[in-house]
């Protein structure tokens, strides 16, 4: 039975969704959370949509078996491939990653924006529809961030290899006179320290995670799913991974700055 103090579920292909989890904890500190990292199958970006749907379905079943009342698909690629299927298959609410094309297009002064994302995200219905709706009069510089997720998962987000690869991807966008850079993968905020070093000061980095977390809170409020019993505001988080949890633990320390009352790690096979 789903109650308003059941946990919030979050999943991603790996550790990228931690950037969304951090924002959720800021807005809803009294909730308990279950985070699933499908590290054994990471990255999702180049996988066929059918495979991503199957993986997302298995993870969803696991999270529901743990009693999750709402699930945040904290992965742009999984959102693009599987969110429609998940909403049609299960009765609980699902929150997906919204492409941040809208705020970037509305705020650009140069009428040129950059989008760094996975191949799967660029092919998704949400991304295509949002681009058609909000970016018709804006020059959009697209770039598939091949190799970036692997660097983050290897704990090398702030490494010389990451800086070299980002220069290759970002420099052509700078030449296109962008003033907004949209991060279209939840792993990419881990690259912000390098991005801030190599980007000109006038370019704004657009991270959709805060807006997605705010939307999740609004959905929980509208459906009376906010936990009101935990007045202490203490947060409990359980982390599960389909592979080893070593890197996940390290990245949790980098991304979750809030006070956590209880934390648990385990690895399972789907």
The angle at the Cα of 152, spanning 148 to 158, to the nearest 5 degrees, equals 95
Choosing from 42, 68, 141, 185, the catalytic residue is 185
- Tokens 């749907």 belong to residue: 53
Q: How far is residue 79's CA from residue 95's CA, in Å, rounded to a whole number?
A: 9
Neighbours of 214 (CB within 10 A): 14
How far is CA 34 from each of CA 13, 51, 160, 176, rounded to the nearest angstrom? 14, 23, 33, 41
Check whether the bond before 43 is cis (ω within 30° of 0): yes
Calculate Rg over the CA atoms of the chain. Answer: 18
Q: Two tokens at 1?
A: 């039975």
Choosing from 68, 75, 141, 227, the catalytic residue is 75
E strands, the chain, in order: 8-12, 32-37, 70-73, 94-95, 112-117, 139-144, 180-184, 204-206, 236-241, 262-267
| 185 assigned to active site | yes
- In three-state secondary structure terms, 61 is helix
Provide the CA 45 distance to its chain's centre, in angstroms. 13
Enumerate the active-site residues.
75, 185
């Amino acid at each position: 039975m789903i109650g308003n103090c059941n946990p919030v579920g979050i999943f991603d292909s790996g550790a990228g969704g931690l950037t969304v989890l951090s924002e959720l904890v800021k807005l809803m500190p009294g909730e308990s959370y279950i985070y699933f990292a499908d590290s054994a199958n990471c990255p999702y970006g180049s996988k066929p949509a059918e495979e991503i749907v199957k993986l997302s379905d298995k993870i969803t079943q696991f999270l529901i078996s743990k009693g999750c009342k709402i699930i945040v698909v904290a992965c742009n690629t999984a959102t693009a491939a599987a969110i429609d299927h998940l909403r049609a298959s299960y009765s609980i609410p699902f929150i997906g990653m919204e492409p941040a094309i809208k705020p970037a297009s509305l705020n650009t002064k140069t009428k040129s924006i950059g989008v760094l994302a996975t191949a799967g995200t660029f092919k998704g219905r949400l991304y295509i529809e949002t681009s058609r709706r909000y970016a018709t009069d804006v020059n959009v510089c697209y770039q598939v961030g091949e190799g970036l997720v692997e660097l983050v998962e290897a704990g090398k987000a702030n490494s010389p290899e990451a800086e070299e690869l980002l220069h290759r991807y970002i420099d052509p966008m700078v030449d296109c006179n962008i003033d907004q850079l949209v991060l279209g993968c939840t792993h990419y905020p881990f690259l912000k320290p390098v991005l801030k070093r190599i980007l000109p000061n006038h370019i704004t980095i657009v991270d959709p995670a805060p807006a997605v977390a705010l939307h999740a809170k609004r959905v929980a409020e509208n459906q009376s799913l906010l936990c009101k019993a935990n007045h202490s505001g203490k947060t409990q988080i359980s982390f599960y991974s389909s592979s080893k949890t070593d890197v996940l633990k390290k990245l949790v320390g980098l991304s979750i700055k809030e006070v956590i009352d209880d934390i648990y790690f385990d690895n399972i096979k789907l």
